[in-house]
Amino acid sequence: MKKPAIILLLFISTICANSQPYESTWESLDSRPIPSWFEDAKFGIFIHWGVYSVPAWRKLEPGLYASYAEWYYARVMFNPDNGGEDFHNKNYGADFEYRDFGPMFRAELFDPDLWVDLFKRAGARYVVLTSKHHDGYCLWPTKSPFKANWNSMDVGPNRDLVGDLTDAVRAKGMKMGLYYSNIEWESSWTHRTESGYYLPDSVIEKYKIPDDMYVDMHMNPQLKELVMNYEPSLIFADGGEWDGTDEYWKTRDFMAWLYNDSPVKDEVVVNDRFAKDMPGNHGDYYSSEYQDTDAVSSGHPWEESRGIGGSYGFNRAENINDYSSSEELIHELIDIVSRGGNLLLNVGPTADGRIPVIMQQRLMDIGSWLEVNGEAIYESRKREVSNQMNEEQKLYFTTKAGTIFCLFDQWKSEIGID
C-alpha cells in the first residue's frame, strides 16, 4: 500500500518543479518574452527626487554626466576642482554633512495627484520614481536596519513617498515603475576610487554598510520589499553595472524569483544595469542615457532616458537656455520610437515637491502633440527602414496593424516617399 503513495508524492514533486519555468541562468531568464505593455507604452516619465534636491546645484560643465546635480554628495561638496567645495562651504559650512540636508527635504508641497494629472496630460503611459539613489536615502519606510533615520518616513517628509505616488499613478490607469541604485556612495564598493568620487574615507567609515552584509542583508531584501509592498511594473536598476558581477549581486537569483514567484511575475520588466556583465546582453530591455550606448542597434527592446535639461535632479545652475525646447523633445521622441525604443523623460522636482514650471510646460506641449499624433506612436513598432532623407528633410516611419505611419519635422504640401 505504500508504493502508490510514493509514486503520487514523486508526481506532485515533479509538478512543483515544473511550475518554475525560469531557472537562475541567463539562457533561461533571457528566454522570457517581454510583457507587451512596455513596447506599447513608448513614453514614460522619470522622476529624480530626494535629499540632493535640497542643495540642487552643480556647476555646468561640458560633457556627458558633467552637470548631474543629483551627484552633489560624490562630485560637488568635496570637490576642490569644480567650485563645488567652495560652494558648499560658503553656503552651508565645512562641517555641514550631506546627511544634514535630510531634515530640509520636507516635500511639504508635494501633491501626487497634481503630478500624475500633469503626466497623464503629457501623454505618458508609465512613471518611474527613484526609490533610492546612490546617496542611499530611501523614499519609503524601509525595514532595512541600515536605513533607520535615512528614509522619508523618519527624516524629512515623514511620509511614504513611493506609496503615495504609486497610488496616484495607478488611480489614473498608468503603470508604475521604481528606480533602485544597487550601489551606495557611503559603502566601500571598489569602483568608487576608480571614478574620482570625493567622499572622504571618514564618511565611508562612519556610514558604510559592512561588505559581507550589503547584498544579502540590505540590497536584495530591499528589492524584494519594494516588489512585495508596491508591485512595480518596471524595475530600473542602476550602478550595479559599474561594479560587481551578477554572481556578486546575486542578480540571476533575484530575477528568477521575480519572474516565477513575485506578485508581478507576469507584467514586470527589468533593465540591464543590475551587474557589470549585463548592459547590452541581458535584461528585458536595454537602457541608454543621453544616448550614451549603442543599445538601439541591438534589435532588443530598449529605452532612452534623459532630462529636460542636462541634469536628472533639479539643478539651480541651469537657466532657460540649458533646457531642450518642446520641439527638440518631440523630435527626439519621434526618432526614438521610429528606431523601436521608448523615451523615459525625466523631471527633477524641487525639495518642497513642486515640478518646475518650465518642465511642466515642456510636458504639456508634448501632450498636445501626442493628442493629435499619438496613433503613430503608441503600440507602434519599428519599420525595417526607420528613416530616410528626402529633399533635405528627415522622414521617420513606424508601423502598426499593417499601417505605415510617416512623421516629419515640418509640413510640406507634397512629400515623396520611396
What pLDDT digit, counting tens, does each position of 124-173 carry?
999 999 999 999 999 999 999 999 999 999 999 999 999 999 999 999 99
Instruction: Say how far apart CA 202 and CA 367 lie, in whole Å.
Output: 48
Q: What is the tens place of the pLDDT at every residue in 344-398?
A: 999 999 999 999 999 999 999 999 999 999 999 999 999 887 666 666 678 999 9
Q: Is the pLDDT of residue 40 over 90?
A: yes
Contact 346, 306 (CB under 8 A): yes
CB atoms closer than 10 angstroms to residue 171: 11
Instruction: Say how far apart CA 180 and CA 84 lie, in whole Å.
Output: 26
| Averaged pLDDT of the chain | 91
Give the burial class of 122: count Cβ atoms within 10 A of its Cβ; 0-12 exposed, 13-18 middle, 19 or more buried: buried
E strands in 81-141: 126-132
- Domains within the chain, CATH numbers bracketed: 18-379 (3.20.20.80), 380-418 (no CATH)
Q: What is the tens place of the pLDDT at every residue in 292-302?
A: 766 566 689 99
Q: Rounded to the nearest 10 degrees, what angle do helices 357-373 and 326-338 cross at?
A: 50
Contact 146, 216 (CB under 8 A): no
Buried b (16+ CB within 10 A) or exposed e, 241-256: bbbbebeebbbbebbb
Instruction: Say how far apart CA 232 and CA 159 lie, in whole Å.
Output: 19
Instruction: Say how far apart CA 68 and CA 50 lie, in whole Å.
Output: 13
Which H, E and C letters describe 152-218, residue by residue?
Answer: CCCCCCCCCHHHHHHHHHHHCCCEEEEEEECCCCCCCCCHHHHCCCCCCHHHHHHHCCCHHHHHHHH
Instruction: Say how far apart CA 367 and CA 118 lie, in whole Å.
Output: 9
User: Who's near 13: CB < 8 A, 6+ residues apart?
Assistant: none
The two most distant CA atoms of the chain are separated, in Å, by: 86
Q: What is the tens place of the pLDDT at every residue in 289-334?
A: 998 766 566 689 999 999 999 999 999 999 999 999 999 999 999 9
Predicted structure pTM score: 0.93
